[in-house]
Amino acid sequence: MLDIRFVRENPDIVKENMKKKFQDSKLPLVDEAIALDKRLREIKMEVEALRAERNKASKMIGGLMAKGQKEEAEALKAEISAKGARTDELTAEEKEVDEKLTAVMMRIPNIIDPSVPIGKDDSENVEVQRYGDPVVPDFEIPYHTEIMEKFDGIDLDSARRVAGNGFYYLMGDIARLHSAVISYARDFMIDRGFTYCVPPFMIRSSVVTGVMSFAEMDSMMYKIEGEDLFLIGTSEHSMIGKFIDTIIPESQLPQTLTSYSPCFRKEKGAHGIEERGVYRIHQFEKQEIIVVCKPEESPMWFDKLWQNTVDLFRSLDIPVRTLECCSGDLADLKVKSIDVEAWSPRQGKYFEVGSCSNLGDAQARRLKIRVDADGKKYYAHTLNNTVVAPPRMLIAFLENNLKADGSVAIPVALRPYMGGKDCIKKQ
């Protein structure tokens, strides 16, 4: 959420930013916000003036009564009563206008970084760099669930009967591989200085609206019936929420956390849920990292965060590339974002396995996450990045480590988490 003063003083910049994001339908929100802000300031000024007049009149009444000027005193009492009624009326209007202004401001997108490429959707994202040499072997690579089935490693039919499409049972070595990747990613980030965290898997609506846009909320979040609770779509939400309504001493920045969590998503929209695969599903697990830092340090942390994902995938012999997300592909709170995509030998192309985002002070402003620098307070910047998210990551792992005989090689880095195994073989 932007600062209303910035919107008031820079309406053309805010409107141009909307156009860059291809959100022309939101342009009227800027003028609406400015009008509401003007009215809100008018109300506050009038209320302040009325209270000053009431205080002055109240002091005069005592003096008039002491002088025996009863009529004048009664007239002042009537005047005070009228001013009180007007103050109550204005106070009610102030609350209403303030709520309307907040609702409008939460729909105005954050100002994107000047380096963000302009484009309508993810088809116009820009490749930045490739890491590792993509290889297509001279033998056929089956669909990822077929590979898993050969190891008796997945049961979609039972999951469909139990929970419907978008769920799965992982079994045996495939389930163990799934847990091994999560554990490896946890230790990978701990070794890089991040504090390990297991967060709440449910969050209140005040946190939901603080960390994401309404459009994201509608397409992603599961609401717990009869409770002010939502299942998390990513642990970033509850980790950033950890700092809601706090003032952090500047000496305690940056806050760097890495967390494990299950994630739950509706996956509403064009992509939908897969019938056979585990690429787009309702439930998965994830190792995430977040940073809360000084504003001037967020660009540096942004580059550090996505590099961790690249390094982890390369340590497991998986070629990846980075993509700069274009303006139209950025969610409203994001300043800048980079996707990490892994190579799929079966498809002969890359697919998304992680995303890194700098949200500037948007989440901090909504959640009131402030920093105290010797008495001067300012809003922190927040960033997040997916380290690894199986079972989607398993697709890349299995395809890139599959051998001609149907076995799957286990890279050296992962072997301690797989009981020393150097490969898994068909049952």
* Cα 300 to Cα 42: distance, rounded to the nearest angstrom: 42
**Percent of all residues in the chain with a pLDDT value above 70, rounded to a whole number:** 95
pLDDT in tens, 235-263: 999 999 999 999 999 999 999 999 999 99
CB 65 within 8 A of CB 126: no
CB 172 within 8 A of CB 152: yes
Region(s) of the chain under CATH 1.10.287.40: 4-105
CB atoms within 10 A of CB 314: 13
Instruction: Judge whether residue 391 has pLDDT over 90.
Output: no
Exposure of 180 in the CB half-sphere (CA atoms within 13 A): 22
Token representation of residue 85: 């009624």
pLDDT band at 280 (very low <50, low <70, confident <90, very high): confident
Instruction: Judge whether residue 137 has pLDDT over 80.
Output: yes
pLDDT in tens, 105-117: 999 999 999 999 9
Strand-pair category, 255-264 with 195-197: parallel
pLDDT for residue 66: 63
* Cα 371 to Cα 381: distance, rounded to the nearest angstrom: 10
pLDDT for residue 133: 95
pLDDT band at 154 (very low <50, low <70, confident <90, very high): very high
CB atoms within 10 A of CB 129: 10
CB 188 within 8 A of CB 231: no
For residues 59-81, one letter each, b for 16 or more C-beta atoms within 10 angstroms of the residue's C-beta and e for the rest, the string is: eebeebeeeeeeeebeebeeebe
Q: HEC profile for 331-384?
A: CCCCCEEEEEEEEECCCCEEEEEEEEEECCCHHHHHHCEEEEECCEEEECEEEE
Question: What's the whole-number average pLDDT of the chain?
Answer: 93
Partners of residue 355 on adjacent β-strands: 339
Name the more confident of 61 and 144. 144
**Cross-sheet strand order for the sheet of 255-264:** 126-131, 320-324, 336-344, 349-358, 381-388, 283-293, 255-264, 195-197
Q: How far apart are the first and last CA of the chain?
A: 54
Token representation of residue 172: 């045996």
State mean pLDDT over 47-66.
75
Instruction: Judge whether residue 11 has pLDDT over 70.
Output: yes
State mean pLDDT over 331-347.
97
CB 255 within 8 A of CB 292: yes
* Cα 95 to Cα 5: distance, rounded to the nearest angstrom: 19
Region(s) of the chain under CATH 3.30.930.10: 122-424
pLDDT band at 77 (very low <50, low <70, confident <90, very high): confident
pLDDT for residue 368: 97
Residues 6+ apart with CB under 8 A from 381: 292, 293, 294, 295, 297, 298, 358, 359, 360, 361, 364
Residues 6+ apart with CB under 8 A from 23: 109
CB atoms within 10 A of CB 84: 13
Token representation of residue 57: 């009149």
- H/E stretch holding 290 reads strand 283-293
CB 339 within 8 A of CB 322: yes
Instruction: Judge whether residue 120 has pLDDT over 60.
Output: yes
Strand-pair category, 230-231 with 222-223: antiparallel
pLDDT band at 62 (very low <50, low <70, confident <90, very high): low
CB 359 within 8 A of CB 293: no
Strand-pair category, 246-249 with 255-264: unpaired
CATH of domain 122-424: 3.30.930.10
CATH of domain 4-105: 1.10.287.40
**Percent of all residues in the chain with a pLDDT value above 90, rounded to a whole number:** 82
Residue 377 burial (10 A CB sphere; 0-12, 13-18, 19+): exposed
Q: pTM for the whole thing?
A: 0.90
